[in-house]
Amino acid sequence: MALELRDCSFFGPALPEPFVKFELEKHLSKRKLLPKATGTEGKALQSSWDVLRRKLRKLGEHGGDRRVANHVLDPLVERLGYTHITREKTVLTREAAEDGGWLMEAEDGSVLRAWSVSLGNDLDAPNRRGRA
């Protein structure tokens, strides 16, 4: 399946845009992480991602962290191989009580923790403040 990234924007050093545009698909294909886009399976996968794209477009410019989780994280649970997602309680750290995020769980016991933030939040850490 060809990697379709026209709806995506990339910023920062983690995934530089030239790497994503010219190298990422080759690396994913080499590791057999891109499914075949042929037959019934390919059409079902394409349809599934089209639904996710529509949900992301509906998100718009306003929304709190729960709305972002509903439109972004919930649709990814099954696509990433997990069975369900739950909101985690606040976690006490050295800094203070912090958001525990969302925990995706699979049948085999593997988990993935994710966080959602309200739209419009600046995710860059402040340069000269202790709490980042």
Tens place of pLDDT per residue across the chain (132 aa): 566 777 777 777 888 888 888 888 888 888 877 766 667 877 887 787 788 878 777 777 777 888 888 888 998 898 888 999 999 999 898 989 999 999 999 999 999 999 998 887 777 766 665 555
Please indicate, yes or no, whether residues 70 and 83 belong to a single structural domain of this protein: yes
Please indicate, yes or no, whether residues 54 and 23 belong to a single structural domain of this protein: yes
Please indicate, yes or no, whether residues 41 and 79 belong to a single structural domain of this protein: no
Q: How far is CA 31 from CA 12, 15, 28, 35, 107, in A?
A: 25, 18, 5, 11, 24
| Residue 132 within a domain | no
Burial letters 50-80, b for 16+ CB under 10 A, else e: eebeeeeeeeeeebebeebbebbbbbebeee
What pTM does this model have? 0.61
pLDDT value at residue 125: 65
Please indicate, yes or no, whether residues 50 and 69 belong to a single structural domain of this protein: no
59: left (phi over 0), alpha (psi -120 to 50) or beta: alpha
| Residue 85 within a domain | yes
Residue 83 CB-density burial (10 A; 0-12 exposed, 13-18 middle, 19+ buried): exposed
Domain count, the chain: 2
Pair of tokens at residue 123: 């995710």
| Residue 78 within a domain | yes
pLDDT value at residue 126: 66
| Residue 130 within a domain | no
| Residue 2 within a domain | no
Range of the domain at 29: 15-59
